[in-house]
Chain A
Amino acid sequence: MDNAIVATHPHTHETAIAAEHEHVVLPQHRHHFETQEQQREAATFGMWLFLLTEIMFFGGLFFAYLLYRNWYHDAFVVSSNQLSIPLGAANTAILITSGFFMALGVWAAEVKKQGLLVLFLVLTTVFGVAFLGIKAVEYHEKWEKHHIPGASFDVSQFTNPQAYGLHEKPLAPDMAQKTQIFFFLYFAMTGMHAFHMVLGIGLLFWLTWRARRGEFSAGYVAPIENFGLYWHFVDIVWLFLFPLLYLINRHPGS
C-alpha cells in the first residue's frame, strides 16, 4: 500500500517502456520500477509474503491450542459448548459474505466501474462491522458469565452444570480450572483476529474514500487487489477458528 502516491516529477525514460507495453503510464508509477507490471507484481508478492508472516504469527497461538486441547480435552469440550453456535455460524456467513463483496470490489476496480467499486467496498465494510458487532455481543456474554480469564473467572458452571440448566457432565475441580486456558485461547485468538479486522476496516474506510475520488478506476488496482488478499486471509483465519473453538465434539441434537 505504499506505492499509492502520485508522482510529481516528469519521467525521462518511459519511451522504451511505452513501446513494450500497451497501457499508459499511470500517475502512480513509482520511479524505481521499470514498468507498471513490475510494480504491480512486486506489490502483490509483497502482500503474499506479509500474509505468510501473519500465518506464522497466528501459528504460535494455534500451536498452544493444539497442545492444550490434547492435554485437557474434557475441559475444552465443555468450554466450547458454552460458545453460541448460532452466533458463530452467523458470523461465519457474514464474514464470507464480506469476502464475497470484496472479491466483487476487486472485479469492479479491474473493469473500471467506480460506482460499483465504492458500493462493494461499503458493503464489505458493513458486513465486517456486523461481524465485530456480533463478536462484541459474544464477549459481553462471556463477561456476564464470568468466563473472562483472570481474577473474576468462575468455574461453577463447569463443576455444577445442573444448577445452571446445562446438560453437561460435571467436571472435577482440577479439570474445571483448565477451562480458563480454553477461554484464554478463545479470547487471544478471536481477539487477535478481531484486531486484524479492525485494522482492515480502518483501511477499508481509507480505500473507500480514495475510490470515491476515482483513484482506482483508471487502471491502478493494486491497493484494492492487495487489500483483497489481506481481507481474504482474515476470512480464512476465521474459517479455522470457528470449528476449532466452537465445534469441538458437537453432536447433532446436543
Chain B
Amino acid sequence: MSATSYTIVNLPDQRTATLPKRSYLNNEDGLLSWLFTGDHKRIAILYLISITFFFFIGGAFAGLIRLELLTPQPDLVASDTYNKFFSMHGIIMIFLFLVPSVPATLGNFLIPIMIGAKDLAFPKVNLLSWYLYWIGGLFTLAALVLGGVDTGWTFTTPLSTHYLNTHVVTAATGVFIIGFSSIFTGLNFIVTIHRMRAPGMTWFRMPLFCWSNYAASVLMVLGTPVLAITLVLVALERLVGIGVFDPTKGGDPLLFQHLFWFYSHPAVYIMILPGMGVISEVISTFSRKRVFGYTAVAFSSVAIALFGFFVWAHHMFIMGVSNYSALVFSLLTMLVAVPSAIKIFNWAFTLQKGSITFETPMLYAFGFLGLFTIGGMTGVFLGALGMDIHLTETYFIVAHFHFVMVGGMLMAFLAGIHFWWPKMTGRMYPESLSKLAAVTTFIGFNLTFLPQFILGYLGMPRRYHAYPPEFQVLNVLSTAGATVLGVGYMLPLLYLAWSLKYGAIAGNNPWQATGLEWQIQSPPLTENFIETPIVDHEAYDYEWLAHKTAQEVTTVG
C-alpha cells in the first residue's frame, strides 16, 4: 500500500488466500441449522435475505405508482387499485424494510462483536424476532394476495374503521406482529449493550454505531407498544363496532391520530438513527481519523431519541389541535432538528486533516450527507407552523420523507452493507461496478424526488391517482428518475450475489479499520472471539491500529 495509491484497501495475496476453514457460515450444515440457530450472525443473514425480498416487493409498488403518474389521467389502473399500491408500498417499506434494515441485519451481526461479546443477551429471543418478522410479513402478504389494503400506511380512522371493506384487519395484524419483532430486537440490544461489554469496553469507548442503535432501541421498546394497542383498537372497532374513534357514538377520531403518531414519529428516528451510526463508522474509516466530537455525536443520538418522543403532533398541525398545543409541538420540533445538524457538522469535520479515500461505502456516505441535509432542512420547513399549512399533505411531504428515508437511511444502509460485506462473507465485491451503482443511485434519486418539492409547493396533493395536467412535466421527470433509481438498486443485488462465489478474498481487515470486528477473521467464528478481548484503547484509535499492525507477524505462504 503506497502513499500515492487511491485506496486503502488491503487484501491478502489472492494467489494464496483462502476463506478461513471454520466460520459461522460452515460451522453447521443444513437448513435446520439455519432455521433454529441462536447465532446472531446467522440471524442477521436470515434478516438480510428477508428484508431484501420485501424491499423489492415494495419497490415494485413504487414503480407501479410512478408508472401511473406519468399521465395526469387515472388510466393505468382503477383508483382502488392505485390506492392499494401506495398503501402496500408504505406498509412494506416502513415496517418490513426500513425499521429492521440496519438494526436487524448490521446491528444483529455487529453489536456483539463491536463490544467484545460472544452473542446478544437473548439469542432465542433474537430468533423469535425473526420468526415474528416473517409471521407478520406473511399476514401482510396475505392481505396483499387477498386483494390488498387501501387505508394508506397510516390507517386513518374513520376511513379504516367504517368506510373500507378491504383487508384492514389482516394488514393491521401483520403490522402488530412485526411490531413485536421490533420490540424484541430493541430489548435484546439494550440488555446486551448494558450488560455484555468486554472488560475495558466502557460506554465511551464503544463505536458510535452502538450508541446509535442503543438510542434507536430505546425508541423501539417504548414507542412500538403504543402502535400495537392502537392497531388493536382499530381492529376492535372494525370487528365489534364500538365507537372509540367514531364521533356519532361519542368517540374521537383525533384520539386515533394522537395514539398513532405517538409511535409513528419516534418510528422515523428508529429508522434513521442506526443509519447515522453506519455513517460514523464509514467516515471515520475512510478518513483514517476518529470521529470529530465523539461525545457530541453520542449524546446527540440520545437527544434525538429523547426529543423524538415529544413532537408527534407536528403531523397534526392542521387537524384541529388547539393553537397553543401547535406552538409547543412546533417549538419542540425545532429543538429536535438541532442534534441532527450537530452530527452533520461533526462528520464533515472528521474529514479535516484526515487521509481520505473514496471507496464505495464512502461514496454512499457522502450521498447521505448531502441528501440528509436537504431532507432534514425541509423538515424545518414543515415544522414551521404557517408554512406547514401550505405544505402539509402535498408532495412536499412525500419528497421530504423520501429524502431522509431513501436519500438518508437507504444510502446509509447500502454504505453499511458494502462496508461490512467483506466481514460478513469474507469476499470483496467489484469496486468499479459498486461505484457505478452508487453514482447511479444518487443521480436517480435526485431526479426522482427534487421535482416533488416543486410539485408540493405548487399544491399537488399526495396520494392522488390523477392530477391537473400542468403538473405533468414534473411527474414525468420524477418517473424518469425512478427508473434510474431502480437500476441503481438492482446492481448491488447482482454484483453482491456474484461476489459470494467469485469475489476476491477479503482477509481480516480489508479497510484497515479500527473496531473489534476488524480484528477477527472474515467471516467470523461462531463464537466471534477465541479469547474474550480486553479493551485498552479508545474507539477509532488509529495509532493503536498502526501499532498492532506493525507488531503482527506476516504469515509465510
Contacts and interface: CB of A to CB of B under 8 A. Distances in A.
The answer to A–B direct touch (Cβ < 8 A) is yes
Contact of A49 (B221, B223, B249, B251): B221
Contact of B183 (A53, A59, A60): A53
A53 B122 contact: no
Contacts of A177: 249-250
Interface in A157-195: 177-178, 180-181, 184-185, 188, 192
Contacts of B112: 32
A154 interface: no
Interface in B229-257: 229-230, 232-233, 236, 240-244, 249-252, 255
A251 B227 CA distance: 37
A2 B38 CA distance: 11
Contact count band on B: 35 or more
Interface in A178-217: 178, 180-181, 184-185, 188, 192
A57 interface: yes
Contacts of A34: 532
Contacts of A56: 222-223, 225-226
A52 to B, nearest CB: 7
Nearest to A60: B229
Given A45-B191, A46-B122, A151-B241, A64 B222 contact: no
Specify which of A49, A52, A61, A72 lies most central, judged by the most chain B CB atoms within 10 Å of its CB.
A49
Interface stretch (B113-121, B142-150, B438-446): B113-121
Given A41-B195, A46-B122, A46-B191, A181 B242 contact: yes
A2 B259 contact: no
B527 interface: yes
Interface string A81-110: 000000000000000000000000000000
Interface string B486-499: 00000000000000
B194 interface: yes
Contact of B226 (A31, A60, A185): A60
A54 B225 contact: yes
A35 B112 CA distance: 16
A180 B243 contact: yes
B44 interface: no
B250 A57 contact: no
B65 to A, nearest CB: 32
B179 to A, nearest CB: 10
A8 B490 CA distance: 44
Given A31-B118, A56-B226, A181-B244, A64 B187 contact: no
B217 to A, nearest CB: 9
A37 B516 CA distance: 25
A57 B223 CA distance: 9
A171 to B, nearest CB: 12
Contacts of A72: 250
A42 B189 CA distance: 11
Contacts of A30: 123
Contacts of A71: 250
A32 B119 contact: yes
A60 B195 contact: no
A186 B233 CA distance: 13
A63 interface: yes
A185 B196 CA distance: 42
Contact of A181 (B226, B236, B249): B249
B537 interface: no
B280 interface: no
B195 A38 contact: yes
A253 B476 CA distance: 75
Contacts of B222: 52-53, 56
B244 A45 contact: no
B124 interface: yes
A143 interface: no
A118 to B, nearest CB: 25
B228 interface: yes
B125 interface: yes
B130 to A, nearest CB: 14
Interface string B175-202: 0000000010001101110111000000
A32 B118 contact: yes
B71 interface: no
A73 to B, nearest CB: 12
A67 B233 CA distance: 15
Nearest to B222: A56
B448 interface: no
Given A42-B121, A46-B187, A33 B225 contact: no
A150 B240 contact: yes
B212 interface: no
B224 interface: yes
Interface string B525-547: 00100011000000000000000
Contacts of B188: 46
A181 B255 contact: no
Contact of B251 (A31, A42, A181, A192): A181
A46 B126 CA distance: 13
A2 B123 contact: yes
A243 interface: no
Contact of B194 (A33, A45, A61): A45
B259 A63 contact: yes
B9 to A, nearest CB: 32
Given A53-B183, A151-B241, A177-B249, A188 B527 contact: no
Contacts of A42: 121-122, 191-192, 195-196
A32 B191 CA distance: 13
18 contacts: A31-B119, A32-B117, A32-B120, A49-B187, A52-B221, A53-B183, A56-B223, A57-B226, A60-B229, A64-B233, A64-B244, A64-B255, A68-B250, A181-B242, A184-B240, A184-B242, A184-B243, A185-B244
The 4 closest A-B pairs by CB, nearest first: A2-B124, A60-B229, A32-B119, A57-B225
Interface of A: 2-3, 5, 13, 30-34, 38, 41-42, 45-46, 49-50, 52-54, 56-61, 63-64, 67-68, 71-72, 149-151, 177-178, 180-181, 184-185, 188, 192
